[in-house]
Amino acid sequence: MKNRYLLAAVLCTLVLGCKNPEKSKSKPISSEIAKTASEKPEKKSDKKTYSDIITKKAITDLGLFQVHQVQDKYYYEIPKDLIGKDLLWVTRIAQIPANLSPYLNAGSKVNEQVVRWEVKHDKLLLKSISFDNVANDTIPLGKSVQQNNFSPILFGFDIELGATDSTGYLIQVGKLFEEDVPALSGLNPNLRKDYKVSRLDKSRSFIDTVKSFPTNIEVLHTMTYVAAAPPANKDAETLTLQMNQSMILLPEDKMTSRLYDERVGWFTTKKVDYSSEALKSDTKTYLRRWKLVPKDPAAYLRGELVEPVKPIVYYLDPATPRKFRKYFKQGIEDWQVAFEAAGFKNAIIAKDAPTPEEDPEFNPEDARYSVVRYVASTTRNAVGPSVSDPRTGEIIESDIIWYHNHLRSYRNRYLIETGAANPTARTLDTSPEEIGEMMRRVISHEIGHALGLPHNMKASSAYPTDSLRSGSFTQKFGIATTIMDYARFNYIAQPGDQDIRFVRQMGPYDYYAIEYGYRWYPNVTTPEDEKQILHHFVSKHSEDPIYQFGSGSSGYDPDSQTESVGADAIKASTYGLKNLKIVAKNLIDWTAKPDENYEDLEEIYGELLGIWSRYIGHVATNIGGVHQTLRTQDQPGAIYQPVPANTQRAATEWMAQYALVSPEWLLDPQIVQRISYKGVTDKIGSLHNRALAGVFNPEAMARMLDNELMHPSEKVYTLQEMIATISQGIWKDVLAKGSSDPIQRQLQRSYVSRVETILKDKKTTSTDIDALLKANLRLITAKLKTASGPAVVKAHYLDMAERIDSILKGKEA
């Protein structure tokens, strides 16, 4: 040690010119050396910095928040002020395999939910938020509502860097889109079962793109499943989808919700409000609608037409055929007139989608854009869904879907339903102008859905049936009071009627409904502020059939039926049947094409059978039917009124005369022998079964018994009379010794089977329905046992008698 000290001193003197270390104020070098030797070397920190993660190689996209791509990893940098904010998450299919589902396509929405980001310890959680149950935060019950509506956690992320280390919480998001998270999947449990999906293959699942826009984040990712029975390319045992996930910041400035009045049809959102002063929770229903506010409120209140601050804009899919684009735009902007009734001009606008050169960021999947999508699909339909803020009902965007083959449906029905009175429809080569007009009206219908309007099947019964044979009436008023009914074509007009409008159009109910939903009122901060104004507006119109609403879902109101037109269903179906007989006679000539087979004839003949069945159903609904008129307590009159006895009796007699008979006009050998070598009897039998189910409907029969009970002093149409009338028609060859043919005998077998089904129904066992049907069977079997005829007829009668005996014994046992 001493030698080391001497050596250090010499070196210091010779090299550094140091003073004597003993006299120096500095610490001895030996002590510094000793100290250094005794200290452990400082470890390098394991904590990563921002630049360690988001390296110079990162591709960063700015928008709602920053998203980063570092090679094959994706990061979200979520600002602290977005934690706890409401974001709408919309899941759509971007690309789809063939034949997955008739009503799923590129652009289909499969889920929407509100989400929030929440920090929990060292995790960032993505939670799904429900607004179904609510309460004011200031009341004690609010705490209980929160505790009993605990939000599910969709995914948890490790926080790479906290908010103090960067501009936001930094997380790696790859697993969210590369794992099988049900809430983000395009495959529901039924599809997984159908295609025998066993798992998601992570090695073939990946993120395609992540883009950040000012109010939304858009992610495209590919999901590949192992599937034993995929819908296409079955040998691959693989099902691959490309999904689009939109995360949209919901507005801080919430739209004031508008309370729903059931007298006007509307798509709605519901909340159970525990803040109610009533002695129970209060279910409140609000309209789903776009937020329209006038640019100039003062001018608006003076009654001037004013543009909205933010109009509704629809872009046409670039895939839309050029020859149809003008009709699509017309269908969208037809609603401008309706919005004028609500005080707005240019409230809804149609535009072509920008080209990549005009806007490289435009993407139909981007939730900022509403698009009318044209889909290459064999599905014959169109749909008009929308995405809304569940907090208020504000519609954020919507995508209308037009399936390519829907054109064929309209061509066929145009020929079948209007061909008798409309010479231009008597061809398979429908003119582009006529097809365009039909498409325009379909787009208007779907836009109506996207504006908030559901189907109004009652609208088609507002106009007198014979008015639809008037050219002046139909050209002015159309064939129904709304485009939202399934009143597609005027099948009432007869040959010789002049200047008839055959295709539907918008009507007065559309303008009324839009005014109810979209008129702007000043000084409204809560839904209750405008409740009385709206109630008065609806009450002023709701007793007029032109403005009445019926969803058509009840099944008991003959005024509210799908595909019907005219106030009198019996008269309408009579006219429709006359026209179908004319079309059937000319079907070969009107569908003939040189050098082609009879595929079109077969298709249209099959659709004609379906339309005949539909006309029958319109009449059958009158039997045991009930008219519904929606009213509030301040309006006089009943809501439910049985169909008058004379109408029910006429409907039953019509069914016996036109529906439950052998339709010889449909059995033309010239048609049948060109399209099929068998099965015609079965097809007619199937339609007869449907007709019988419409007449012998246990619910309708029970309503007839109710009517007898509630109106004993009135002349009501009884169930006994209805059963007797139908039975006499079907069994006329037995009861009155008439003729019989294979169709009639098949109908009789169907009758016995239908009655047997009803008698086995436990709901009818303790009612007069059972007793009356069994009494009728006893009458029939007594006649069958003594009836005579050719060998095949006699064999049929004996078989029916034995079946009826077996049914009766089974019931009595």
CA–CA separation, 275 vs 281, rounded Å? Answer: 7
Burial class (CB in 10 A: 0-12, 13-18, 19+), 714: exposed
Among all chains, which residue has been given the structure tokens 């006529």? 434
**The pLDDT value given to residue 373:** 87
CA 571 – CA 153 distance, rounded (Å): 59
- pLDDT confidence bin for 28, thresholds 50/70/90: very low
Residue 596: is its pLDDT beyond 50?
yes
CA distances from 400 to 91, 95, 241, 352, 366 (A): 16, 17, 21, 14, 14
- Contact predicate 764/698, CB 8 Å: yes
Residue 456 · residue 265 · CB < 8 Å: yes
Distance (Å, whole) CA 168 – CA 160: 10
Q: In this predicted structure, what is the pLDDT of residue 381?
A: 73
Spatial neighbors of 367 by CB under 8 A, at least 6 apart, are 88, 90, 216, 218, 246, 248, 387, 396, 397
> Which pLDDT band, with edges at 50, 70 and 90, does 46 fall under?
low
pLDDT of residue 15: 39
Percent of the chain with pLDDT over 90: 71
Q: Scanning the structure block, which residue is given the tokens 């398979």?
A: 428
Q: Which of 88-97, 386-395, 610-619, 732-741 shows the highest mean pLDDT? A: 610-619
Angle between helices 432-451 and 322-333 (to 10 degrees): 40
Assess whether pLDDT exceeds 70 at residue 25. Answer: no
User: 3-state DSSP call for residue 161?
Assistant: strand
Q: How far apart are CA 811 and CA 231, in angstroms?
A: 47
Judged against a pLDDT cut of 90, whether residue 711 lies above it is answered with no
For residues 510 and 478, give the distance between their C-alpha atoms in angstroms, rounded to a whole number: 12
Q: What pTM does this model have? A: 0.87
Kindly report the backbone phi and psi dihedral angles of residue 17, in degrees, each rounded to the nearest multiple of 5, phi listed first: 70, 35
pLDDT score of 145? 58
> Do 750 and 695 contact (CB within 8 A), yes or no?
no
SS3 for 292? Answer: coil
Band of pLDDT at residue 802, cut at 50, 70 and 90: very high
H or E element, residue 147? helix 141-147
Does 144 score more than 90 pLDDT?
Answer: no
Which uninterrupted H or E stretch holds 444? helix 432-451
Assess whether pLDDT exceeds 90 at residue 386. no
Provide the pLDDT for residue 734.
87
pLDDT of residue 133: 66
- C-beta separation of 552 from 618 below 8 A: no
Q: How many CB atoms lie within 10 A of CB 436?
A: 19
Examine the pLDDT at 394 and tell me if it is beyond 70: yes
- Please tell me whether residue 191 adopts helix, strand or coil conformation: helix
Report the share of the chain in percent with pLDDT over 70. 90
Lowest-confidence pick of 27-36, 69-78, 589-598: 27-36
φ and ψ at residue 781, rounded to 5 degrees: -65, -35
Instruction: Return mean pLDDT, the chain.
Output: 89
Helix (H) or strand (E) holding 184: none
Among left, alpha and beta (phi > 0; psi -120 to 50; other), residue 125 is beta
Q: What's the rounded mean pLDDT across residues 172-182?
A: 92
- 8 Å CB contact between 314 and 447: yes
One-letter identity of residue 384: G
Confidence class of residue 277 from pLDDT cuts 50, 70 and 90?
Answer: low
pLDDT of residue 405: 76
Tokens representing residue 521 in the block = 């009122």
Residue 606 pLDDT greater than 90, yes or no: yes
402: nearest Cα among 455, 311, 324, 334: 324
pLDDT value at residue 788? 84
Residues 661 and 730: their CA atoms lie apart, in Å, by 7
SS3 197: strand
Strand partners, 259: 286
Give the relative orientation of helices 791-812 and 768-784 as an angle to the nearest 10 degrees: 150
Q: Among candidates 164, 166, 158, which has minimal Cα distance to 51?
A: 166
pLDDT recorded at residue 150 = 67
| Tokens coding 473 | 């009436």
Q: Across residues 89-102, what is the average pLDDT?
A: 89
> Of 257, 269, 217, which is closest to residue 85 (Cα–Cα)?
217
39-53, 82-96, 292-306, 455-469 — which is least confidently predicted? 39-53
Is a pLDDT exceeding 70 seen at residue 39? no
Q: Is 471 helix (H, G, I), strand (E, B) or coil?
A: helix
Give the three-class secondary structure for 334.
coil
pLDDT in tens, 470-501: 999 999 999 999 999 999 999 999 999 999 99
What torsion do the CA atoms of 377, 381, 386, 387 make, to the nearest 10 degrees?
-40
The residue assigned the tokens 């509630």 is 710
Do 188 and 163 form a contact (C-beta atoms < 8 A)? no
* Rounded (10°) angle between helices 698-710 and 719-730: 140
**Closest to 483 measured CA to CA, from 516, 522, 441, 517:** 441
How confident is the model over 163-176, as a mean pLDDT?
81
Q: How many residues does the chain have?
A: 813
Residue 558's H or E segment, with its range, is: none
**Residue 118 bridge partners (DSSP):** 125
Q: Which of the residue ranges 23-32, 233-242, 273-282, 690-699 would you say has the lowest mean pLDDT?
A: 23-32
Closest among 767, 776, 785 to 808, alpha carbons compared = 776
Q: What is the pLDDT of residue 280?
A: 59
Q: Give the E-state strand segments of 250-369 in sequence order.
A: 268-273, 282-287, 312-316, 348-352
The 10 Å Cβ neighbour count of residue 521 is 12
Lowest mean pLDDT among 35-49, 446-460, 560-574: 35-49
- The most confident of the ranges 158-167, 243-252, 462-471 is 462-471
For residue 33, pLDDT beyond 60: no
CA distance 588 to 251: 59
Cα gap 630→644, rounded to integer Å: 19
Q: How far is it, in rounded angstroms, from Cα 562 to Cα 555?
A: 10
At which residue do the structure tokens 């996209």 appear? 61
Angstrom CA distances, 568 to 138, 480, 647, stand at 56, 13, 9
